Structure 1
Amino acid sequence: MRLSAPQFLSLLSLGLLSACGGGGSDSSEPDTVTLAAGDTFTYQRVVTPEGGSGTTSHFTEALASINLVNGKSTRIHTFSNGAAGRTLQYASTDVLSGATYGSTNCVRTANAGASTRTFAAPPLATEQTWTYGYVDTCTTGAAVTALSVTGSGRIIALETVSGTAGSFQAVRYALNEMEFNSAASTYTQRSATCLRDTVMGIVLSCTTREAVTTEVGGPAVVTTLQTDLIGFKVADHPASVSTVARFAGVWSLDYTGSDTGECASLRVDADGLVSATCASDLSGDFTLAGTVSSNGAFSATTSHGRNFSGTFSSPSTATGNWLGTVGAVGAWSATHR
């Protein structure tokens, strides 16, 4: 299997940004924002191979917990393209200590004499530089993959940027990185130019170029990744913007009551359209079609005359009730796959 470096997998970026000058005080963003469990960030990512057309996917990062004693936090990623969820564990701010990618578990250790910190330490300043080096040892069953990474970064400017969700105090910086994948015997060279919000500590507007080569040589396989934040829900941020795309992806729905059954692959697209082919223990297969709104309100009808309603309470869980003919009733629950 091939895994990209976790800090690039978890880049949080905001599209439709424009620079407004150097680090001014006219930002609508508050000076401090306290992140909390339940805060979510939803992204659109476009992956474009050299000479080809782009493929768009969406994913949501939910902040599961923050340990205020030692700074550890867990972030859960849910991808709309069917990829397994990702859990990232941080030893402290900007220092990733381990990760889980579906059934793959990774542990990060620093190279001798190197740092695993992949972003500059405060106070931030123009032309500030940093380097890092580490090995991610990833285990899937009996298979072990070592991802050896070395990289460097440089701050280009401190500035204020504006987007659809407001203005942000930001730092523009560049990253260059080389990764060796022991299982695939491939080298991946990455270069990225990014904007990072200095208040919430998330990356804004990041464009990454990847060039993959093998040990035996041959032409590089080049891909460009553009990741854009299209909405976020942060309880302590006054400019939070909800987006229905935070529910996008494939869900598993089970229902009980007067009848029991399941919708094993209920799909929600980035516009909130919901569709599924389901199985009933009493009446066989049926289809379901409906919508979910940006605030999670869900309603749908089925091909055999039932109505489903409820709430998508988070990017990973949803519950509600269903109503059929002749007094048939029940409840349902769903989880993101």
Structure 2
Amino acid sequence: MLLIRTPLLIAGIAGLLSACGGGSAGTAGPSMPAPDATPKVDLQPAMGDFYSYKEVYVNTSPGNTAPPAPLLWYVDIPTSVNGDGTWSETSTNDDAYIRRATSILRADGSTSSFINGACTTTYASPTGTSLKDLAVGVSWTTALAPAPTYSAGCTPSTYPTAGTRHGEVVAEETLTVAAGTFKTLKVVSSASTSYASGNKTATESTIWRDSVTRRVVKENYSSTTTTAQGKVSSYTAAIELQGYADAKRGRQSLNVERFAGPWSGSYSGSYSGSCSGQISTAGVLDAACGGGQFSIHGSVDARGQVTFSLSSGGVSGPVFSGSFESPLTINGTWSAGAGVSGNWTLNHL
């Protein structure tokens, strides 16, 4: 999923663009080997998988003088895998202002619903070509019909009212990115969408998808929006796979950035309280606990092993240790000696 810096817009275009995407620290595992010439496509992930991306966003609007946007690191994490081939996954990121989002996906890889905060967008049917059916030379042109439906928590002005999209698989390419080397299908697409606000948006995208899982390995994306008053804004975004785990094929490339972002949780036992803080893209954890009475500082490595200490007034207190169950949650134990100990847990916001 392409996490562009206007997250409410994602819900409006995700269905229309469902056939396209929506230096790593740590320990790299084996690169993905080139599959057979006619690989068996397997879209559904396994629990414990993850796909971690880096996004470079550039505001290309006419007259823009804003400083460059920081890098965005985000990760897609399966949260349920069903016997009928469908699954759900959550996207988290290192930006506290971009909300965590959840996608419900059909067995063909298309999005059936997208949940972003209080807004749920539901897509009645897939658009474009099934990810399973992608092959060199396959092309499609689709219209936005039927339009998606929206929950009460959505913003009506963001609803698309009309749209067309064209896409084509133009080549097979072997591509090397930070996460390793992959055999991919190169997909080129463009779209034009009109919104209830009167805005019109034109987008172009080139995506390299893994030939077996159809996961995005790399994407270059551009968007230009013209308002009803004629104001033009535009941006480009480039994403690249930085780390992943693929249990079905026994492959992984671990990166610490998948844990980056805001976290909150609690600790219990001899002492109890709540904590909230941030994990940096370098794996450094800083947080405040007990309503500001304590601070914690420590580190997380690419394997998900975490150690940190709690201190107050310059005096070190309990030592925490644990392992991430997934990039969404972590729990472990703490100890201050002399039988003073307990448990703790943190969750990615």
**What's the TM-score once normalised by structure 2's chain length?**
0.81
Task: Report what 1:263 is aligned to.
Answer: 275
CA distance in 2, matches of 1:76, 1:294: 20
| C-alpha distance in structure 2 between counterparts of 1:106 and 1:256, whole Å | 38
Q: Distance in 2 between matches of 1:201 and 1:311?
A: 29
The structure where strand makes up a greater share of residues is 1
Counterpart position of 2:29? none
Out of 52, 77, 91, the residue aligned to residue 42 of structure 1 is 52
1:199 aligns with 2:212: yes
5+ unaligned residues in a row in structure 2: which ranges?
Answer: 1-6, 25-31
Give the direction of change, closer, same or farther, for the CA distance of 1:301–1:9 in structure 2 (3 Å limit): farther
Q: How far, CA to CA, are the matches of 1:10 and 1:116 in structure 2?
A: 7
Match of residue 315 from structure 1: 327
Query: Is the contact between residue 155 and residue 173 of structure 1 (CA under 8 Å) also seen in structure 2?
Result: yes
Which one is further off, 72-81 or 267-276?
72-81
Give 3-state SS (helix, strand or coil) of 1:37's partner: coil
Alignment-derived partner of residue 22 in structure 1: none
The answer to whether the Cα contact below 8 Å between 2:56 and 2:71 also exists between their aligned partners in 1 is: yes
Tell me the SS of whatever aligns to 2:181. strand
CA contact (8 A) 1:14 1:228 kept: no
Deviations 1:226-268 (A, max 9, x none): 111100011123441011111111111201111111113x211
Deviations along 1:140-180, one digit per CA (max 9) or x if unpaired, are: 43754522442110222122223344432211121101223
Q: How far apart are residue 278 of structure 1 and its match?
A: 1.8
Residue of structure 2 equivalent to 1:23? none
TM-score, length-scaled by structure 1: 0.83
Distance 2:106 2:243 in 1: 27
Percentage identity across paired residues of the two chains: 24
Q: In 1, distance between residues paired with 2:104 and 2:345?
A: 28
Residue in 2 aligned with 1:156?
170
Contact 1:190–1:209 (CA under 8 A) maintained in structure 2: yes
Structure 2 Cα separation of the partners of residues 228 and 98 of structure 1: 24
Provide the alpha-carbon RMSD of the alignment.
Answer: 2.8
Q: What is the CA–CA distance in structure 2 between the aligned matches of 1:118 and 1:240, rounded to whole Å?
A: 28
Q: Distance in 2 between matches of 1:276 and 1:53?
A: 27
- Distance in 2, Cα, partners of 1:165 & 1:143: 37
In structure 1, stretches of 5+ residues that fail to align are 16-25
* Distance of aligned partners of 1:261 and 1:108 in 2 relative to their CA distance in 1, 3 Å threshold: same
Number of equivalences: 315
Contact 1:13 1:227 in 2 (8 A): no
Q: Alignment partner of 1:215: what SS?
A: coil
Structure 1: how far apart are the matches of 2:114 and 2:95? 20
Letter in 1 for 2:211: T
Gap change, CA 1:276 and 1:68, over 3 Å in 2: same
CA distance in 1, matches of 2:282, 2:159: 38
Q: Secondary structure at the match of 2:293?
A: strand
Matches within 5 A, 1:1-337: 2-4=8-10, 5-6=13-14, 27-29=33-35, 31-32=39-40, 35-50=45-60, 53-69=68-84, 71-82=85-96, 83-109=98-124, 116-117=127-128, 122=133, 124-126=135-137, 128-134=138-144, 135-141=147-153, 143-144=155-156, 145-148=158-161, 149-182=163-196, 184-218=197-231, 220-264=232-276, 266-279=277-290, 285-304=293-312, 305-306=316-317, 307-324=319-336, 327-337=339-349
CA distance in 2, matches of 1:11, 1:274: 34
In structure 2, give the amino acid aligned to 1:6: A
Whole-angstrom distance in 2 between the partners of 1:12 and 1:248: 22
**Which deviations, in whole Å up to 9, do the C-alpha atoms of 1:278-329 show, x marking residues without a partner?**
226xxx6121110011111111112232211111211111101112265421
**Higher relative helix content:** 2
